[in-house]
Structure 1
């Protein structure tokens, strides 16, 4: 399987390099090369969209097609608004669209409209319904598996027979089901899923309300771990535990490597997050969009095919996510230039690994050990 992954990664890198070479050399560009790419992102609840995805996609589009322009719109988590934005872009003559659908079902008619207008659509980060021309994301099943595997590691001897609460994503988003399926493939048969909640809108507030309900229905001391689908949900989970005056937090997972989540990991309130290297995703989406805008075949860039409820064999690029704990922040997020230690390490975090002043040696197992907010280890020992 690892050999297969290396082959797929090598093939993707080679395809992207070929795409870059075609943009910068070969035939001389004409005015026909200068077209507009529409970029539609779903909201601002997750910081990544505005902080990482947007600028990275725009930068790579300009590198691959210097004469190309980008039209950008953010739906602010309103599918109706995104439909209007998409219609406006089609009317104004964009040649190709990169779309992260706020609601894949609602946006289906807009994608059909784009198809009828001859505007190909690249689904970005989450699979959309309708006649899309390509899909770029991370392997959602692997995201869920990573969260579950690391949660079991953090639970210690409670990883067999312990109680887990699952805080899933928005049920309207196919990614939420993808993540959940991957997590359950690891957790089933090992732990008891005490409760499972869907989080409307992926919002911190709804996650807080759901976790508060779980704490009201169950003795908090009997909750051995929480599989939180992303960092926004994890924030709501942790605030609910604090609001219930729980002194020792169980391990909590996350996803997206939000800066606040990374700080929670350093502090010991959140055990891990799943980092999805944004640059690789942005590069693949930009390459596919430029290929389609020039009338090329996206299958030349694809590493696999995916079926949606409406479309079969969609040319797709599925990238590999990475787990991040306190012990691997430097080797992942800092090394990739996502954050610097200066930005991560607030004054309150000084002395906690990996922040300057830490007494723990770099790479020590102690830095991967989950900790409660009061400085002790996360509950993992047998209970009386």
Structure 2
């Protein structure tokens, strides 16, 4: 029997709850509707490879006659404003919005709602103006999980704490989700006795900027750096590249988030310590379910309220080398592995895969 993640089961249950009671009369507003899916950047491959396809697939199940408009702002808030205006002019009845800038996105929410357009905040919340709904993984829990995992690892390795400490590489300062991850990271670091030597909010989540900052800290602190709490796999990759460029061997343990192919391969190679598996298809499908419910006049089922917005937050899964095979290669979503061994175990990662018992 193919295994299905608990989060996917939750998403399926949510779909049933969202759509129950929506009879043929209430289904009319959904038929032939135009909906928009606006993503923030391309610094992570997840939006093109997982979020967008996952949303489209679920919308096709719920409404074969609906039209999905997809745009990616590539980290530019002004471009996202233009894309937003474009989908409004094309008649979008609902907009799933993952904002480049969580603060400026408030005006987009107000603009849409004044026209009767439903706005679903996606992945990143919009704190100052409540959207109609918010769907995401629990970002604060993500930050705490990766940081606590690193602290426990350092304790187990009996790493000294007298003059040593951690670097903290946060996400974009314009991203409210990054702020939640940062809050969780602080809490996780606080579970141990390791000092934070320095921390940095990475503009646009750009790996190159994270690499540049970490390179400067290596020159400043040298061997005092015993670990790096990085907020996602992109910034983790930048940090690891900085250590390698500086000739640091071994690279101190580095956290991550998103379970990107690159991040998973760095774990396989032993260069990155952990990441977070949060299959984007899960939240994308849940967002489509919310769109369908709202357009049919239904109230989507929320499990909490965040920033005044009814919200559904899924539970993330921590990944290290110990459970990567079970949670990434062997675990199935819709009959497919989260990432197949044939994709992960290529080139220089083949030997690392063998050590973890992963075979293409």
TM over 0.5: yes
Question: 1:79-130: CA deviations, max 9, x gaps?
Answer: 1011111111112211111000011122221221101111010000000242
What SS is found at the alignment partner of 2:310? strand
**Is residue 30–residue 63 contact of structure 2 (8 Å, CA) maintained in 1?**
no
Structure 1 residues 361 and 90, CA, compared in 2 at 3 Å: closer, same or farther? closer
Q: Secondary structure at the match of 1:224?
A: strand
The within-5 A match list for 1:123-202 is 123-128=121-126, 129-155=128-154, 156-158=157-159, 162-188=164-190, 190-202=193-205
What is the CA deviation profile of residues 282-328 of structure 1, one whole-angstrom value per residue up to 9, with x for unaligned ones?
A: 12111111111222223xx2111111xxxx2x110010011111121
Distance 1:97 1:136, change over 3 A: same
Distance 2:268 2:206 in 1: 23
Corresponding residue for 1:97?
95
8 Å CA contact 2:18–2:299 kept in 1: the answer is no
In structure 2, distance between residues paired with 1:26 and 1:109: 35
Q: Using a 3 Å threshold, how does the CA distance of structure 1 residues 26 and 204 change in structure 2: closer, same or farther?
A: same
Of structures 1 and 2, the larger Rg is shown by 1
Paired position in structure 2 for 1:86: 84
Q: How many residues align?
A: 343
Gaps of 5+ in 2: 1-5
In structure 1, the gaps of 5 or more residues are: 1-5, 363-384
Q: Alignment partner for residue 215 of structure 1, among 214, 218, 221?
A: 218
SS in structure 2 of the partner of residue 81 of structure 1: helix
Q: CA RMSD in A?
A: 2.3
Match of 2:117 in 1: 119
Flag the 1:31–1:231 CA change in 2: closer, same or farther, 3 A.
Answer: closer
Q: Name the SS of the counterpart of 2:103 in structure 1.
A: coil
Structure 1's 28 and 83: CA in aligned 2 closer, same or farther, altered over 3 A?
closer
Aligned-partner SS, 2:256:
coil
Residues 1-384 of structure 1: matches in 2 within 5 Å?
A: 13-19=12-18, 30=28, 33-128=31-126, 129-155=128-154, 156-158=157-159, 162-188=164-190, 190-219=193-222, 221-298=223-300, 301-307=301-307, 312=308, 314-334=309-329, 335-336=331-332, 337-352=337-352, 355-356=353-354, 358=355
**CA 361–201 in structure 1, closer or farther in 2 if over 3 Å, else same:** closer
Cα drift, residue 245 of structure 1: 1.1
The CA distance in 2 between the partners of 1:39 and 1:98, in whole Å, is 5
Matched residue SS, 2:172: coil
TM-score, with length taken from structure 2: 0.89
Query: How far apart, CA to CA, are the structure 1 residues paired with 2:287 and 2:61?
Result: 13
Alpha-carbon distance change, 160 to 141 in structure 1, aligned in 2, over 3 angstroms: farther
In structure 2, the CA distance between the partners of 1:32 and 1:141, relative to structure 1 (3 Å rule), is closer
* 2-structure distance, mates of 1:14, 1:332: 21
Q: Distance in 2 between matches of 1:9 and 1:72?
A: 23
Task: Between the two structures, name the one with larger relative contact order (CA 8 Å, sep ≥ 6).
Answer: 2
Q: Work out the CA distance in 1 between the residues paired with 2:125 and 2:29.
A: 33
Post-superposition Cα deviations, 1:14-66, rounded to whole Å, max 9, x if no partner, equal: 3312446778x866965862201111001111100110000000110111122
Shift of 1:10: 7.5
Q: State the TM-score, normalizing by the size of structure 1.
A: 0.84
On the 8 A contact 1:12/1:303 being kept in 2, the answer is no
2:159 alignment partner, SS class: helix
For the residue of structure 2 that corresponds to 1:33, the secondary structure is coil
CA distance in 2, matches of 1:9, 1:331: 16
Q: Is the 8 A contact 2:30 2:292 kept in 1?
A: no
C-alpha contact 1:41 1:75 (8 A) present in aligned 2: yes
Classify the secondary structure of the residue corresponding to 1:218: helix
Give the 3 Å change call, closer, same or farther, for CA 173–32 of structure 1 in structure 2. closer
